[in-house]
Chains A and B, each alone.
Chain A
Amino acid sequence: QQPVQSPQAVILREGEDAVINCSSSKALYSVHWYRQKHGEAPVFLMILLKGGEQKGHDKISASFNEKKQQSSLYLTASQLSYSGTYFCGTESGYGVIYNQGGKLIFGQGTELSVKP
């Protein structure tokens, strides 16, 4: 089942903060976050593994709560370059069985627009 992202879209002014949520009905092993700018390929931001890791990437960080089957992406002090569509991708444990990693199922995306 496809994870559900919220909100679907958000408009920010430069310097404002945003949170994007990703929720799954299935138990999760890992969560990836990607950003896609218009007309370009998605670009990997970070991966979070089962175990409650929190990662950071400059002013972008994320958390993963496997009990709630949820992940959140935090963008602080947003910059114009943060504009794009953010996708979470979830992996549900194929790799645990086969020790080789499995496919990601992506959410429907959250469109983020940062205005000057």
Chain B
Amino acid sequence: GAGVSQSPSNKVTEKGKDVELRCDPISGHTALYWYRQSLGQGLEFLIYFQGNSAPDKSGLPSDRFSAERTGGSVSTLTIQRTQQEDSAVYLCASSHPSKNRGYNYGYTFGSGTRLTVV
């Protein structure tokens, strides 16, 4: 698509339930990133995919968080047994690496999923 698409845009869930957040990146973007932004705060890195593999999962806060990416495209972030501290906006971004010099071009962010755990 023309941009990065995330769904749902809003999710209210009860504490202890599992949630799945979806990200559909820009076609052709091989790199995909998940970040979390709490109210008025910065962007906290969660996980990074290059193709279908995740070279860096260091930002996942606990083993309740997992993510996968299939077909080098859509990614799903799953949070099990949600807690109130999981409430935040979850942002997905995609980019593509340069052919040389080993860096990624600028990220295109989706509009995010606002997760509220009650």
On A, residues with C-beta under 8 Å from B are: 2, 29-30, 32, 34, 40-47, 49, 87, 89, 91, 94-109
**Contact indicator A107/B103 (Cβ below 8 Å):** no
**Contact indicator A95/B111 (Cβ below 8 Å):** no
Contact of B104 among A43, A46, A101 (CB under 8 A): A101
In the assembled complex, which residues on chain B have CB atoms less than 8 Å from the CB atom of A40?
111
Q: Which of B59, B97, B103, B108 has the most CB of A within 10 A?
A: B103
- Taking A100-B104, A104-B45 as known contacts, 5 extra A-B pairs with beta carbons closer than 8 A to each other, sorted by chain A number, are A2-B42, A42-B43, A44-B106, A101-B103, A106-B42
Stretch at the interface among B48-56, B60-68, B70-78, B79-87: B48-56
Q: A98-B55, A100-B50, A101-B98 are in contact. Are A109 and B42 (CB under 8 A)?
A: yes
How many B residues face the partner with a CB closer than 8 A?
28
Q: A41-B111, A49-B103, A95-B102 are in contact. Are A101 and B31 (CB under 8 A)?
A: yes
The distance in angstroms between the C-alpha atoms of A116 and B112, with both chains bound, is 31
Query: Is B21 at the interface (CB under 8 A from chain A)?
Result: no
27 contacts between A and B (CB under 8 A): A32-B106, A44-B107, A45-B106, A47-B103, A47-B105, A47-B106, A49-B103, A89-B107, A91-B104, A94-B55, A97-B102, A98-B55, A99-B97, A99-B102, A100-B104, A101-B97, A101-B102, A102-B55, A102-B56, A103-B45, A103-B56, A103-B59, A104-B33, A104-B45, A106-B45, A107-B42, A108-B41
In the assembled complex, which residues on chain A have CB atoms less than 8 Å from the CB atom of B31?
100-101
**Contact indicator A42/B45 (Cβ below 8 Å):** no
**Contact indicator B43/A95 (Cβ below 8 Å):** no
